[in-house]
Structure formats: C-alpha cells, structure tokens
Amino acid sequence: MKIFFNKILYSAVLTCLLIIVFQTVCFAEDGTSYDGYIVKFKSAPVMLAEESDVNQLSPIVKDENIYTVTNESKEFVDSLMQDQNVEYIEPNYIISLPDNEEITDINVLSESNNSNIAVLNSLSSFTQPNDTYYYNQWNMEMIKSPYWWQYGLDTKNIKIGIIDSGSPDRHPDITQNIAPGVDYTGTGIYDTYGHSTFISGILASDTNNLMGTAGILPSSTVIPFKVFTEKKTDSAIVIKAFYDAVDVYQCDVINLSLTFDSYIESFKYAIEHAVSKNIIVVAAVGNDGNKETEIATTIKYPAGYDNVIGVGSLTYSKKRASHSQYNSSVDVMAPGESIYSSSLTKDGKNNLIHSYSRGTGTSYATPHVTAAAAIAKYFNKDITPAEFLELIAETSDHLGDDGKNPEYGYGALNIQNIIETLSPSFAPAPTSAPVSSPELHTEIYPLVFDADLNSLKSSIQLYNDTDKNKFVDCYVVSYTESSDADGELVEHVTGSIVKNDVEIPASGHKTLPSLVLPVDKTGLRSLIRVFIWDDNMQPLMAPYEYEVKY
C-alpha cells in the first residue's frame, strides 16, 4: 500500500498570504504574534563580512543560511528586501505549548514514599509491572504496551528527542533513560514547568521498579531540548533545537508536543531536513476540538506539515476526546484524556515538588506514538517517515468512517500489531536477567536520608513462601561514580554491610532494620546495591539498585 502525504496542498493559498518568498518581508496579517524576523539566504550572506553588519544578524542554523534579524530598523530590513541572495523573510512567530491542557488529581511524593530515592532494579521480562500507580495507567493496556514489555528488550541505541520544557532527570521515577540535554533558554536544563516531565513519564518512566508509574520504553535514550520555561517561546529557538536534534544529536525520533497557528516556512525546511535523514517526527494536533467548528477543524502546526505524524486524543472508551482537533492532520489516535504520569507541582512556598497526576491533552497522546516510532526503529533502523505512516495505517485499530478520516485518522495506536507486522516470527531474545527464586521475594522499605545528606538508612524485608526455614546472605554496598583522567566512569565503594546466614522462618519474613550506609555526594552519582545470595554466592533473586537523588 502506498500513502502519499497531502496535508499542505490545500494550505498553499494560506502560505502565500503569510509568507511571500524571495525578497519580501512577511507580516502576520492574521494577528498572530511574533518577535522580530527570520531570514533565509540562498547562500552564505556576504554582507556579514562587513564589520558594520556583524551584529545585524544572528545565526539560527548557519549551515542552512538561516538567521534572525537582530537589527529591525526599516533601513536594514529594506536592504534585505533588495538583496538578491535573500530567499525569504518571515516573522519569528511565537510558539506555545497546547492550550486547554489540565493537570488534576495530584499525588505529591513525600519523604515516606521515596522523594529522594529512585529504584533502578534490573528489568526482566514481565507483562504486569509492579509500579505503585500502574493501576491508574489504562492507557498502557489500550495501546498494548505489555506485549512489548514481555520481551524486556534494550532500546538504548534508539535516540528520542523531546523538544519541550527541559530535563525531567530530577524526578525520582525518571532516571535510567534521560541523556544530558541542551538548554536554549538560559535558565538551566532542568524542567521547572512540568510539561516535559509529564511527557517523559509516559514515554520513559522507570518501569517495574516498585514505585510510581510505568513508561512505555523502560530502556531507551531520551534527549531533552529545553526551549520553554513557561508556555511560550519563539520559532527561532525551536528551529535551532530541532536542527541540533537532527544533526548534532542524531535523534531517530523527535517528539513535538507543541503547536503554532501559522505556516512557518523555516520549520517546513527543518522537517524536510529531518525526513531526508529518515527521522520520524511526531506532533500533537491541538486542543481546540471542543470549540466552534471553524476553530476545531483548523490545522495547527507542526502536525499539519507534510511528513509529520499528527496525533489526536482518545478517551478511555476509545472515542475522540472532546478537546482533540479533527482535520486532515490527524494520522493516528492515542490515549490523551485523564492520563496518569509523573509531574511537578509547587508547595505553599512556591517550591517545586515531584509528584504524579492526571493530565489531559494531545500533548500527552503524542509520546505514545513517539514510543511506537522508536519501537519501529528498533526493528528497522532505516524505516522512513512515509513507511512508518504506512505501518500506522495497516496496524491501527480502525475507528470512525472508512479509511483515514478527520476524527480518528487511521485509528487507535496498537503496539502489538506494529511488532507482529514488523517481525511476524518475532520471539523473545534470551534474557540476561538475574535468577529469581519462586520461593523468596523482598520488599525494600523507602530509604531516608539523614539531615546532613551524608548517609542513608534503609530496611529490607525478606519473605519466605516455603514450609521450611531459609538461610541467606545479604550484601548491601554503597558506591559513587566519577570520571577518571580519560573521562571513563569509575566506581568507588563508599561502604558495605554484610549479613550472613540470615534465617527467614517458614511462611514468614525477616526484617533487616536500620541499615546505615555512607554516601559520597561529590561524585557524578551515588548509588547502593542490594544482593541476596545463597551459601555459594549464587543469586537467589534479582539485585536491586538505588540511585540517590539530591
């Protein structure tokens, strides 16, 4: 089956109204706000060789000859209009996170439920994760995430770029998958608004770790690009981040849970550049679906661009959510109403607190499809955006009118169908997960720091499900990671506790209380590991690893 992208054919007239290319300044006559101008040259601008012109322009993507106009005087803009080397000038439009997205049902982390510790225990094959709030995540069942989880596959080599409000790495339930990010705002890389944290939680929250929520891709590489501090930024910043995600960080998939009303020529070029490198771009279609028809059916960008996968929102009952816009930009639907994920909230003193909450909006439907694109890349690294759209058309659970329709696109995302289509004979690969005894299991009490953050204290409870007493050895070690002279990671043990011949009564349990270990907060990371062995130093269950989150 061949599918041709045709999202922008009908918008050619609108494009002409908003941007007149080749030597004409484009003004937003529709009232759309903007901050200055962007200019694209046909070749490297000679004018920058003049000392007086050095500060007139600032490069966005120098290799593509795209600049912001820093001198907005009439004389300078007129000179650009006369320059035969200018391909176009357009407003530097304001871009926003989608409106009408609500966060409710906030569950704040406290010291008693792991506000400072994240569990990083080894992931083995599973279909029902043990995350505390998984029962709230109906979305995972709808898209068939458990089918993917059962194989326990490593997708670390698939890079996912999230261009949003910053790194969620300080949230204790998002630790394993977040790579060092890039800040374009001058406010630091960490997310202080919460939008990126919520999206990242859906996509890549630590999974099967006895806390919080489960992410679709428990093993992945997520690269955050911070372009928002609150709800708005400008197109020059987003375009710069987008090109970096493509060329510098070589992302395989890019998540854009953002919208803008105007057709931005520079962004179109950016999308085409990504597509030329087989990068799949996934974007939210917008949240004005419950407004009057003219607005509800209006196309928003970047979802409206050719070769971008546009994502709308589904309810629990697999209906289009009332907020989800409906038009030709909708390619596929994913859960987007009352989605439970990691979040940020503020206390009475305006301090940021890590939490979990429910969110509604197409922003939160988008990462489900981004994850599906990453899974497709896992099976076929060379899959193109057009081929991925074909895959979506073939594997989605059809909804609404025949074929692709404005309300549901090709239907509801189905990860199981994607996997079975890409690899019909797919079988789980041999797993290196540690041996897990059917007779023993553990519960790790929350680890709590003392006041000076120089040590931590934990309790471990061992359960024996047999009718005979069991004797085990428990080994707990704390260590820190730092870089050596060559930049390689080196582990240094900072303390250890050994409990030999711990007797666990038949059909009972044994508590190892108040295990105090020193930590070294000068390293890159401080961690502890817990091992349960038999007399021959053979593992009786999967080891647990915890990272100290300051």
Closest CA relative to residue 3, chosen from 409, 433, 531: 409
Is pLDDT larger for residue 219 or for residue 513? 219
**Catalytic: which of 145, 165, 191, 195?**
195
Residue 390 has pLDDT above 90, yes or no: yes
Phi, psi dihedral angles at 196 (to 5 degrees)? -65, -35
For the entire predicted model, the pTM comes to 0.74
Q: Is-contact 381 284, C-beta < 8 A?
A: no
Q: Which residues contact 436 (CB under 8 A, 6 or more apart)?
A: 124, 541, 542
Q: Is-contact 252 374, C-beta < 8 A?
A: yes
pLDDT of residue 477: 78
Residue 453 has pLDDT above 70, yes or no: no
Give bridge partners of residue 159 from the DSSP assignment: 221
Q: What is the 3-state secondary structure (H, E, C) of 265-331?
A: HHHHHHHHHHHHCCCEEEEECCCCCCCCHHHHCCCCECCCCCCEEEEEEECCCCCECCCCCCCCCCC
Please tell me the distance from the alpha carbon of residue 107 to that of residue 359, in angstroms, as a whole number: 12
pLDDT of residue 119: 43
Q: Is-contact 151 419, C-beta < 8 A?
A: no
Confidence of residue 102 (pLDDT cuts 50, 70, 90): low
pLDDT of residue 151: 80
Residue 419 has pLDDT above 60, yes or no: yes
CATH of domain 440-548: 2.60.40.10
**Percentage of residues in the chain with pLDDT exceeding 90?**
47
Please tell me the distance from the alpha carbon of residue 340 to that of residue 338, in angstroms, as a whole number: 6
Give the chain's end-to-end CA distance (angstroms, integer): 52
pLDDT of residue 50: 54
Residue 282 has pLDDT above 50, yes or no: yes
Q: What is the mean pLDDT of residues 48-70?
A: 77
Residue whose tokens read 């998939």 = 253
Q: What is the mean pLDDT of residues 235-245?
A: 97
Q: Name the strand (E) or helix (H) holding 257.
A: none
**Catalytic: which of 342, 343, 363, 458?**
363
Q: What is the pLDDT of residues 321-348, one digit of tens each?
A: 999 999 999 999 999 999 999 998 877 7
pLDDT of residue 544: 65
pLDDT of residue 471: 84
Buried/exposed 198-219: b ≥16 CB within 10 Å, e otherwise: bbbbbbbbbbbbbbbbbbbbbb
Confidence of residue 57 (pLDDT cuts 50, 70, 90): confident
Q: What is the mean pLDDT of residues 472-501?
A: 77
273 a catalytic residue: no
pLDDT of residue 109: 52
> Count H helices, E strands: the chain?
11, 24
Of the listed ranges 149-158, 247-256, 472-481, the one predicted with least confidence: 472-481
Q: Name the strand (E) or helix (H) holding 224.
A: strand 221-226
Confidence of residue 431 (pLDDT cuts 50, 70, 90): very low
Which of helix, strand or coil describes residue 59? strand
Domain boundaries, the chain: 12-96, 102-114+130-422, 440-548
Confidence of residue 505 (pLDDT cuts 50, 70, 90): confident
| Count of beta carbons in the 10 Å neighbourhood of residue 427 | 6
Buried/exposed 267-295: b ≥16 CB within 10 Å, e otherwise: bbbbbebbbeebbbbbbbbbbbbeeeeee
Residue whose tokens read 């120089």 = 454
509 a catalytic residue: no
Tokens (6 digits) for 92: 């530097």
Tokens (6 digits) for 3: 């599918």
Q: Is-contact 498 473, C-beta < 8 A?
A: yes
234 a catalytic residue: no
Residue 28 CB-half CA count within 13 A: 19
Q: What is the pLDDT of residues 168-198, one digit of tens each?
A: 988 989 988 899 999 999 999 999 999 999 9
Class of domain 102-114+130-422: alpha beta
pLDDT of residue 187: 94
Q: Name the strand (E) or helix (H) holding 452.
A: none
Mean pLDDT score of the chain, rounded to an integer?
81
pLDDT of residue 277: 98
Residue 432 has pLDDT above 90, yes or no: no
**Catalytic: which of 131, 164, 173, 520?**
164
pLDDT of residue 106: 67
Q: What is the pLDDT of residues 123-153, one digit of tens each?
A: 344 567 878 888 889 999 999 998 898 887 8
Confidence of residue 430 (pLDDT cuts 50, 70, 90): very low
